[in-house]
Amino acid sequence: MSTIAAPLPYRILDPHVHVFQHDPEFPFAAGANVPQEDRTPEMLLALMKANGVAKTVIIQVRHYMFDNRFLASVLKRYPGTFQGVARVDPEKAGAPDDLSRLTAEGFRGVRLSPAGDASGDWIEGPLIGPLWKRCQELKVPMTVLAPIGRMPAVGKLADQYPDLTIVIDHMADCPVDQLAALEKLIALKRHPKLFVKISHTWQLSKQAYPWRDAQEHVKRLHAAFGPERLMWATDWPVSLPHASYEQTLRVVRDDMPFLNAEDKHWMLNKTIERVWPFPA
């Protein structure tokens, strides 16, 4: 059931969701820890309709790793409703060409996920520069899921590719009890084409809804970047153990009292349109 009493004077866009389905035509990656219950585009569409969300950006889910065929099939089924962000193997020399091919197929960006331990050190390795260069040449966003400790490395790459649009996922998952660490993300405000998703308040928080302790991060990022470079996101269905789809929207739309109407217009709509413009 929709929780919106009256339609907003703009369309709400969700820039971060995932979909997957148990289907032998689209096998999961070896060793993937996949939930038994499917999370299909049709389930997502029902949630969008119930909550007044017009369009979404689907991020290639980790379950398929670098095989983007399932998401490609979803984009073909629902043109204009979804945009897709692909994954490529950043430790593969041919990753830039893979990104070019996927972009030609209709994907609008790539997601990289360097872990905080040594397994993610490729973010500072010799193969990463050519991939970022190609992304800049293709004029598609580079989306980065990385812990807060990786932000200085992201900043060095951003320095080298100043025309690249970069999106940092989930406030770099900075723990709420590490307030000083958030400065590593705030330092990236020097890059005018770098944006931040103010998602995962539900995961970072040690409190119940509306996760006031995690909202302190949002306040600081709002002060540093301004609403023009912040965007909300649900991260459905990853959010489900912690929050409903409706709550992940409501917390920004209704329950962050430090945001004014214009802030929310940017964070629910205009910032996302800057990065992933949708057809009217």
Q: Give the tens place of pLDDT for each residue, 174-212.
A: 999 999 999 999 999 999 999 999 999 999 999 999 999
Instruction: Please say if the pLDDT value at position 75 is more than 50.
Output: yes
Average pLDDT over residues 124-135: 98
Predicted local distance difference test score (pLDDT) of residue 2: 42
Beta strand 82-87 with 12-17: parallel, antiparallel or unpaired?
Answer: unpaired
Predicted local distance difference test score (pLDDT) of residue 1: 40
12-275 homologous superfamily: Metal-dependent hydrolases (3.20.20.140)
Predicted local distance difference test score (pLDDT) of residue 186: 98
User: In the chain, what are the domain boundaries?
Assistant: 12-275
Entry pTM: 0.96
Answer for the pair 46, 69: CB distance below 8 angstroms, yes or no. no
Euclidean distance between CA atoms 64 and 224, whole angstroms: 35
Average pLDDT over residues 142-147: 98
Q: What is the mean pLDDT of the chain?
A: 96
User: In 3-state terms, what secondary structure has residue 167?
Assistant: strand
Instruction: Please say if the pLDDT value at position 3 is more than 90.
Output: no
79 DSSP assignment? B
Predicted local distance difference test score (pLDDT) of residue 54: 98
For 142-154, give the DSSP string: EEE---GGGHHHH
Instruction: Please say if the pLDDT value at position 135 is more than 90.
Output: yes
pLDDT band per the 50, 70, 90 thresholds, residue 6: low
The CA–CA distances, whole Å, from 143 to 15, 70, 167 equal: 11, 19, 5
